[in-house]
Amino acid sequence: MPPISTDTTFSTPPPMKVPVEPIPFDAPADIDALAMLLRDGFDWASVLEHESCSSERSGTQDDDDDDHNTDSAETTGASATTRYHCAKDGCGRRVRLHAFCCEHRTKICLFQGCLREANRNHYCPAHGGGKCCKTPHCANAAQSLGYCKAHGGGARCTVADCGKSSQGGGLCRTHGGGKRCSEAGCTKGVQRGNKCTAHGVDRRCTVVGCGRIDRGCGLCMKHRRDKCCAISECNRLSQQHGLCKFHMRQFREDDKSDEIVSIEV
């Protein structure tokens, strides 16, 4: 067996290591926005060209730098600008999530005509969105600690030994919390139009030809029955799919919203 050579002389020198400078790119802080940029691609040549031009003119005056920044922004192209900035018309803020900035990335409730912010199931609390109260058989919207106001969730009255829900200023209605009737000498809580029930404007049913008293949502008790929840013995007004927001939230919490169909009452 021939002896192993210990000569480490190479016929050709090893390749030289060339230091690689990082690409001058200000990546978004939000991981979703960064993933969107990497998925859609980016005009890196424009960025490098802009950095090169900036380094060559680093010794010029400030007014020349301003003109250069304007020119380079125009040469970058609309594609890079739209990927960087919010998709909302007239907004120039940076993208943070799903092509929108922090201000315009809010999801809107899917209920027709509602502009409130939606919760995780695409509806606002007023239309059955959000989590249900932890109390068994309660479908009210959960506040703090996973409970609704009726079962101990949300802010409570600060008066000793009072466990009622706070209505404003850390007090319940009994201890002075919430708005008061604007009628002189009246200390009752506001119900409608800055008035209590006794001093409020007498509203009537909005159905043409009906003069009965409004019992909620512009309807009297008779005409409310025509729009009540499809669940038996529930007198709440239906809002979607023939269900009130109480029972709609219960269905959505159980992940059965896709199985719900419109119910004719």
Model confidence pLDDT, tens digit, residues 20-60: 555 555 555 666 665 555 555 444 444 444 444 444 444 44
State the Cα–Cα distance between residues 198 and 191, nearest whole angstrom: 10
Average pLDDT, the chain: 67
Verdict on whether the full-model pTM lies above 0.75: no
The two tokens of residue 49 are: 């060209």
| Residue 69 pLDDT grade (very low, low, confident, very high; cuts 50, 70, 90) | very low
The whole-angstrom distance between residue 123's C-alpha and the CA centroid of its chain comes to: 10
State the Cα–Cα distance between residues 38 and 235, nearest whole angstrom: 53
- The per-residue pLDDT for 81 is 46
Q: What is the DSSP string of the chain?
A: -PPPP-----SSPPPPPPP-PPP-----SSHHHHHHHHHH---HHHHHHHHHHHHHTTTS-HHHHHHHHHHHHHHH-HHHHHHHB-SSTT--PBP-BTTB-TTT-PPBP-STT--SBP-TTSS-GGGT-SPBPSSTT--SBP-GGG--GGGT-S-B--STT--SBP-BTTB-TTTT-S-B--STT--PBP-BTTB-TTTS---B--STT--SBP-STT--HHHHGGGB-SSTT--SBP-BTTB-HHHHHHHHHTT-GGG------
State the Cα–Cα distance between residues 54 and 28, nearest whole angstrom: 22
Sorted by sequence, the CB contacts under 8 Å of residue 239 that are 6+ apart come out as 111, 127, 128, 245, 248
Of 250, 52, 47, the closest CA to residue 138 belongs to 250
Higher pLDDT, 46 or 8: 8
Within 10 A of 127 (CB to CB), how many other CB atoms are there? 21
Instruction: Average the pLDDT over each of 60-64, 87-91, 140-144, 205-209 and give the range with the smallest value.
Output: 60-64
| Residue 257 pLDDT grade (very low, low, confident, very high; cuts 50, 70, 90) | very low
Of 174, 168, 137, 134, the closest CA to residue 151 belongs to 134
- The per-residue pLDDT for 26 is 59
pLDDT digits (tens, 9 = 90+) for 120-179: 667 777 777 777 788 877 777 787 788 888 888 888 888 888 888 888 788 888 888 888
- The per-residue pLDDT for 44 is 44
Burial of 29 (0-12, 13-18, 19+ CB in 10 A): exposed
- The per-residue pLDDT for 29 is 61
Higher pLDDT, 158 or 259: 158
Return phi, psi of residue 231, to 5°.
-70, 130
- The per-residue pLDDT for 37 is 56
Higher pLDDT, 31 or 215: 215
- The per-residue pLDDT for 42 is 47
- The per-residue pLDDT for 152 is 83
Of 101, 70, 67, the closest CA to residue 84 belongs to 101
pLDDT of 244 over the 50 cut: yes
The percent of residues in the chain predicted with pLDDT above 70, rounded, is: 51
- The per-residue pLDDT for 258 is 42
- The per-residue pLDDT for 58 is 47
State the Cα–Cα distance between residues 177 and 218, nearest whole angstrom: 27
* Helix 62-76 × helix 44-56 angle, to 10°: 170
